Structure 1
Amino acid sequence: MKNNFKLLSLGLLLGFSILTSAQDITGLWQSIDDKTSEVKTIIEISPNDQGIYTGTIKTITPRVGYQPKELCYKCPPPYTNQPILGLKTFTGLKLAKNNEYADGKVIDPLTGKIYNLKDKLNTNGNRLNLSGYVGVSTIGRSQTWLRVK
């Protein structure tokens, strides 16, 4: 009876530790327009062999009344005049602690501005809350991305 209790306890503990461990952000994500709540792009997030994540624009979603730009005109080098489709929109993102990522840089291809980036994945792994900022992380812009299933 004691052995069964130990096995059950061990199983529950292992299950709980798996549930509370960091989830991976690898995969396809929909970026959502802050003003219209429409899908703007599909971003593919992938890590390199050091666990540093990059987000690449895979699809630009057509929307009524919006003509997407094709090139990153106002962007600094090495992004200058690069196609927005296929652009590495963010780089350098690393797991900081459970479900939180930091130390990234993100470029806004419409303005050419580069911001510091941190992300937090919600507990079910379907929403990624991104914060782009200059200087202090409490002052900046936030977006929520939705995982593509």
Structure 2
Amino acid sequence: MKTHCSKKVNLGLIGLIVYLFTLSIYAANLSPQGSWLTIDDVTKKPRSIVKITENNGHLYGNITKVYYRKGEGPNDVCEKCSGARKNQKFLGMNILWGMKKTGKYSWSGGKILDPENGKTYKCIVTLSQDGQQLNVRGYIGISLLGRTQMWIRQ
């Protein structure tokens, strides 16, 4: 009788440990930190992988992989960019910076660079509740005047 009860207790403890472990993994994904697949607005094909990191409470995103189109290659640079990004290679380029957490699933206050046109925009980032999709909205002035891309967690 005692053995049967201790087996139930052990199974209950194992179940609790598995549940808490799963919960901690889920909670960790409530951050946009990690690698994200970006999709080309025109072709709807993968365009790049952006790795988002956090430093001193701010999010930053760097291009870690580029899916090159015909005629493009690893030596291509951002000719349309200005400042320090002018003629910088796309691979490794910082395109997202200064984002601060403003809600449970949202970050804003930073900027995003569109490497296609070299322009910098204000940015709002919203993470889906399951942590697997990131809505990235770049805009000028007010957020109604902008464009949203959906990035997919890798």
User: TM-score, normalization: structure 2?
Assistant: 0.78
Q: Pick the structure with more helix per residue.
A: 2
> How many residues are paired up?
132
Superposition pairs of residues 47-126 of structure 1, within 5 angstroms = 47-48=54-55, 50-63=56-69, 65=70, 67=72, 70-126=76-132
AA aligned to 2:47 is: K
Give the Cα separation in 2 of the matches to 1:74 and 1:58: 20
Offset at 1:20? 8.7
Offset at 1:104? 1.3
Residues 92-144 of structure 1, C-alpha deviations (whole Å, 9 max, x = no match): 01111110010110111121111001110011000000100000001111100
CA contact (8 A) 2:29 2:131 kept: no
% of aligned pairs identical?
A: 32
Q: Among residues 17, 28, 50, which one is paired with 1:43 in the alignment?
A: 50
Superposition pairs of residues 18-29 of structure 1, within 5 angstroms = 23-29=30-36
AA aligned to 1:67 is: E
Give the Cα separation in 2 of the matches to 1:21 and 1:90: 21
Residues 43-85 of structure 1, C-alpha deviations (whole Å, 9 max, x = no match): 000001x11010000000134x463571011111011111110
**SS class of match (1:24):** coil
Q: Among residues 40, 53, 56, which one is paired with 1:33 in the alignment?
A: 40
After superposition, the CA RMSD in angstroms is 2.3
Give the Cα separation in 2 of the matches to 1:39 and 1:134: 25
Offset at 1:36? 1.9
Offset at 1:21? 9.9
Structure 1: runs of 5+ lacking an equivalent: 1-14
**SS class of match (1:78):** helix
Give the Cα separation in 2 of the matches to 1:126 and 1:62: 24
Give the Cα separation in 1 of the matches to 2:27 and 2:116: 37
Give the Cα separation in 1 of the matches to 2:68 and 2:88: 20
Q: Among residues 126, 143, 149, which one is paired with 2:149 in the alignment?
A: 143
User: TM-score, normalization: structure 1?
Assistant: 0.80
Kindly report structure 1 stretches of 4+ aligned residues shifted beyond 4 Å: 18-22
Q: Confirm or deny that 1:129 pairs with 2:135.
A: yes
